[in-house]
Structure 1
Amino acid sequence: MSTLIKFSAICLVFLYAISGVSQDFQGKAYYYSKSTLELGTWGARMNKQQKDQIAARLKNRLEKTYVLSFNKTESIYKEEEVLDAISGATDSWGKNFTAGHQYKDVKENRLVQSQEFYGKKFLIDDKLQQIEWTMTTEQKKIGNYTCYKSVGVIPTTALKWWSFSWSKLREAEKETSETTNSEDYNLTQIVAWYTPQIPVSHGPSEYWGLPGLILEVSVDNTTILCSKLIINPKEKVEIIAPSKGKQVNKDEYCDMVLKKMKEFRANRMGRRRYSG
């Protein structure tokens, strides 16, 4: 059977299944996210013990658990907050690096995400991130579900658009100082595994748009894997978009973060000159 025929068969199964899903269909998917530690040239000068100590300190940022609650068209994705293994406190500084509660409406093509940056609350209201998926017939089992592999690409700048990163500032300044065509933008590859057995177009984090729930995603140094899935839980799932914070779109929020980072850098350099 050709790839085109197999792909068409998958889509037909999805369309048939989604038409039969009741309006009150709901689910909860629990995901475990793990990222490898990247220390760059700075880390090359460290021994294993030093790297292990840093990995232990950053464990809450490298290993996270999330819950995706969903119905036919809407979903809400939240991180499960845990205590720091060393200090016993929540990682308040880490909120500058992590995504807030994320609401998606695939029917209305809408993203609403709560975000906190240096004690201020924002509400990002924008369109969903578009992903160019190339579907394959490769399959594997994740739990009791048959999953199919799909490979997508996304502009690198669209990944973790909400995060505080000095490398992001350097890249932004590099792009503005150089003349680049849209074709020259860096793209990042995404590998996703979705199951048509759960005929909704949802997934963890930014990822969506496939004919079935995404159960696993690998991108850069991070893998997100569904560890537990509950269909039609006894307690009704409440899916409500975040509503608190100053409303902005993605571009406005990113510009604000970059502006703040430039201020931090200028103040830091000023202090160094003064102390010298």
Structure 2
Amino acid sequence: MKKIILLFLLMSSVVFSQDFQGKATYKTHRKTEIKISTDKGAPNADMQKKLHERMKKMFQKTFTLNFSKSASTYKQNKELEPEVKSGGVEVVMFGSGGGTDVLYKNIVDKSYTNKTEISGKRFLIKDKLPEHEWEMTSETKKIGDYTCYKATRSREEKRTSFTMTDGEKEEKKEEVTVAITAWYTPQIPVSNGPGMHWGLPGLILEVQEGKQTIVCSELVLNSKDKIEIEEPTKGKKITQKKFDEIMKEKTQEMMERFKNQRKSKKDGESISIEIQG
């Protein structure tokens, strides 16, 4: 028995040495509720069904987290973007660089660098990682071969939504509480996870944040091929606060352009879409 315990300890010291690296693939999906007006000119029931299915596909993405004990990069995998256009209705996802975005997290320095693009302009967001106040529980479940423990937290979010009807924009602001549930495994003692999620005594394999779910579908530890984890360096350096201000301004500009386009349409065309979740 002593020999078996000693062997296990030796194996652990190798697996989780300073050179320890891993690669995790995550899949995302989001519950969506799409409300479309039934006014004259709006898509019929069949078109609305197709639009809903295509919207669901827009939120189904895969990401790769390359990680060591101290740092990580998180990037969306390249895949074909579904065309979301049906019955004269077109939905544009704004504010995401998609496959060009790279999120670098340094767990030791508690900092992050996010390379992203807006309207062809590249930004480098450099800031401190948020200190998450996780509430630990003893609840467990298996994800693949790993025993995971449940942790929860919540965050307050100021949310602005827009509804466009006959070219007239209606803006609604509200403060919401977003519930977050994470499942982490101490079997991989890396305080990291997908996106901006981190701060638990083990790798996060699943996250439920509001209506979005992120689940690890593949995990490779200490591959023969060395993983390069490099902090992105190209782009205009700004803080997260400044980037949020730019995003708000660009969103307003986009809504104004859409408003003008709707006004130029023929009379009788009335389309109002509200997307929740």
Task: State TM-score, norm by structure 1.
Answer: 0.75
Bigger helix fraction: 1
The DSSP-based 3-state class of the residue aligned with 1:255 is helix
2:55 corresponds to which of 54, 58, 64 = 58
> Quick check: 1:131–1:154 contact (8 Å CA) kept in 2?
no
The DSSP-based 3-state class of the residue aligned with 1:132 is coil
Name the amino acid aligned to 1:22: S
Q: Which residue of 2 aligns with 1:235?
A: 225
Give, in angstroms, the shift of residue 56 of structure 1: 3.7
Give, in angstroms, the shift of residue 192 of structure 1: 0.5
> Quick check: 1:34–1:222 contact (8 Å CA) kept in 2?
yes
> Quick check: 2:27–2:62 contact (8 Å CA) kept in 1?
yes
Question: For this pair of structures, how many residues does the alignment match?
Answer: 238
The DSSP-based 3-state class of the residue aligned with 1:251 is helix
Say whether 1:127 aligns with 2:133: no
Give, in angstroms, the shift of residue 187 of structure 1: 2.7
Structure 1 273/166 Cα, relative in aligned 2: closer, same or farther at 3 Å?
closer
> Quick check: 1:123–1:248 contact (8 Å CA) kept in 2?
yes
Q: Which residue of 2 aligns with 1:204?
A: 194
> Quick check: 1:26–1:70 contact (8 Å CA) kept in 2?
yes
Name the amino acid aligned to 1:110: S
Bigger strand fraction: 2
Cα deviation code 1:23-56 (max 9, x no counterpart): 110000111111122214659x977633431134
Q: Distance in 2 between matches of 1:20 and 1:271?
A: 58
Q: Distance in 2 between matches of 1:202 and 1:240?
A: 16
Say whether 1:84 aligns with 2:73: no
Give, in angstroms, the shift of residue 154 of structure 1: 2.1
Q: What residue ranges of structure 1 are gaps of 5+ in the alignment? A: 1-16, 88-92, 176-184
Q: Distance in 2 between matches of 1:42 and 1:219?
A: 28
Structure 1 31/265 Cα, relative in aligned 2: closer, same or farther at 3 Å?
closer
Name the amino acid aligned to 1:33: T
Say whether 1:34 aligns with 2:29: yes
Give, in angstroms, the shift of residue 131 of structure 1: 1.8
Higher-Rg structure is 2
Say whether 1:262 aligns with 2:252: yes
Task: State TM-score, norm by structure 2.
Answer: 0.74
